[in-house]
């Protein structure tokens, strides 16, 4: 079976500084895969490479069998990849509903529209006229997720959805994931909370210093394997 998304030997640089050292990654349609790893491991850089925000060689990334590395971000969204960025990045002068509609500008057809989103997250309907940035952090995160869904992506990339949010909001967001993947959408989450990552994902990739240090089915990986891959062998002994 062809992978929905595949990277081979993906490298990334910020100027002279190398951040990714050859990432091999593969994703089947309908999977929910978590990427874990310590601060600075390269998780955000990996997602940014996939979405065209960090430069990548054309052949290093294939989406639906076609090379997409280094394409402009707008073109990548039109092909069906959408990202919920770390820090949410809502448009401050726009209402919740206007922020959501910005997600639909790529013009892709699919199951997600305002009505569908409001049914999944009633808080969005309740607050739809308010400025997006007047909402609580958790509510803003839901807007950012909703905006990405409005582009009807085939692959949704979520960068640290739970960062700085209360546990109850994190649970609410992750509780929506089965509905999101239920119609065949494929999801990648970057998640610092390893327990949550194991609970919600089918597979895990752990990054360490710009390399894949572990990959496997979430239910098969042991805590020891994960902490070794997460912290490195030397530090794992003290973890
Ligand atoms: P975090 O959990 O802290 O977001 P991360 O795993 O997402 O970490 P990245 O943000 O991808 O890690 O960072 C990977 C490496 O690239 C780090 O060494 C980081 O310092 C470097 N880096 C990230 N963004 C930039 C940038 N804009 N300019 C220069 N170096 C950067």
**Ligand 1 site, residue 48, Cβ cutoff 6 A:** no
| Residues in Cβ contact with 157 at an 8 Å cutoff, skipping those fewer than 6 apart | 47, 50, 51, 81, 82, 83, 84, 187, 188, 190
Complete DSSP assignment for 54-98: S---GGGEEETTEE-TT--HHHHHHHTEEEE-TT----TTSBHHH
| Residues in Cβ contact with 63 at an 8 Å cutoff, skipping those fewer than 6 apart | 4, 5, 76, 79, 80, 81, 155
**Ligand 1 site, residue 141, Cβ cutoff 6 A:** no
Residue of the nearest CA to atom 3 in ligand 1?
39
Q: In what order do the strands lie in the sheet with 203-208?
A: 81-84, 155-159, 186-190, 32-36, 203-208, 211-217
pTM of the model: 0.92
Residue of the nearest CA to atom 20 in ligand 1?
40
Q: What domains appear along the chain, each with residue ranges and CATH number?
A: 5-231 (3.40.50.300)
**Ligand 1 site, residue 108, Cβ cutoff 6 A:** no
- What's the helix, strand, coil split of the chain in %, to 5? 40, 25, 35
**Ligand 1 site, residue 47, Cβ cutoff 6 A:** no
What pairing do the DSSP bridges indicate for beta strands 66-67 and 61-63? antiparallel
CA 41, distance to chain mean position in Å, is 15
pLDDT tens for the chain, 239 residues: list them: 579 999 999 999 999 999 999 999 999 999 999 999 999 999 999 999 999 999 999 999 999 999 999 999 989 999 999 998 877 678 888 899 999 999 888 778 888 999 999 999 999 999 999 888 888 888 999 999 999 999 999 999 999 988 888 888 888 889 999 989 987 899 999 998 898 999 999 999 999 999 999 999 999 999 889 989 988 754 444 44
E-strand ranges in the chain read 5-14, 17-27, 32-36, 61-63, 66-67, 81-84, 155-159, 186-190, 203-208, 211-217
To test ligand 1's pocket by mutation, which of 10, 11, 40, 51 has the most ligand atoms within 8 angstroms of CB?
A: 40
To test ligand 1's pocket by mutation, which of 19, 51, 84 has the most ligand atoms within 8 angstroms of CB?
A: 19
**Ligand 1 site, residue 149, Cβ cutoff 6 A:** no
Q: What atom in ligand 1 is closest to the CA of residue 37?
A: 6
Orientation of helix 167-175 relative to helix 137-149, angle to 10°: 20
To test ligand 1's pocket by mutation, which of 18, 41, 55, 56 has the most ligand atoms within 8 angstroms of CB?
A: 41
Centre of ligand 1 to C-alpha 122, Å, is 35
Which residue, among 148, 160, 184, has the nearest Cα to 4 in the 3D structure?
Answer: 184
What pairing do the DSSP bridges indicate for beta strands 81-84 and 61-63? unpaired
Q: What atom in ligand 1 is closest to the CA of residue 12?
A: 16
The residue behind tokens 């958790």 is: 138
Centre of ligand 1 to C-alpha 153, Å, is 25
8 A C-beta contact, residue 127 and residue 157: no
């Amino acid at each position: 079976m062809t992978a929905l998304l595949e990277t081979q030997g993906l490298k990334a640089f910020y100027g002279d500084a190398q951040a990714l050292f050859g990432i091999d990654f593969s994703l089947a349609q309908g999977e929910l895969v978590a990427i874990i790893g310590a601060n600075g491991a390269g998780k955000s850089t990996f997602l940014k490479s996939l979405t065209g925000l960090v430069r990548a060689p054309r052949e290093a990334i294939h989406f639906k069998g076609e090379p997409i590395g280094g394409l402009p971000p707008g073109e990548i969204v039109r092909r069906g990849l959408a990202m919920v960025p770390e820090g949410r990045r809502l448009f401050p002068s726009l209402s919740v509903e206007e922020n959501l509609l910005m997600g639909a500008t790529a013009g892709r057809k699919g199951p997600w529209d305002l009505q569908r989103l409001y049914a999944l997250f009633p808080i969005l309907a309740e607050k739809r006229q308010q400025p997006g940035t007047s909402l609580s952090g958790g509510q803003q995160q839901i807007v950012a997720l909703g905006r990405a869904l409005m582009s009807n992506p085939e692959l949704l990339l979520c960068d640290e959805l739970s960062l700085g949010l209360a546990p109850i909001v994190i649970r609410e967001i992750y509780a929506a994931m089965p509905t999101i993947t239920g119609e065949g959408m494929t999801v990648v989450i970057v998640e610092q909370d390893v327990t949550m990552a194991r609970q919600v994902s089918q597979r895990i990739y752990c990054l360490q210093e710009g390399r894949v240090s572990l990959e496997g089915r979430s239910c098969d990986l042991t805590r020891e394997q994960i902490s070794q891959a997460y912290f490195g062998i030397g530090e794992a002994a003290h973890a």
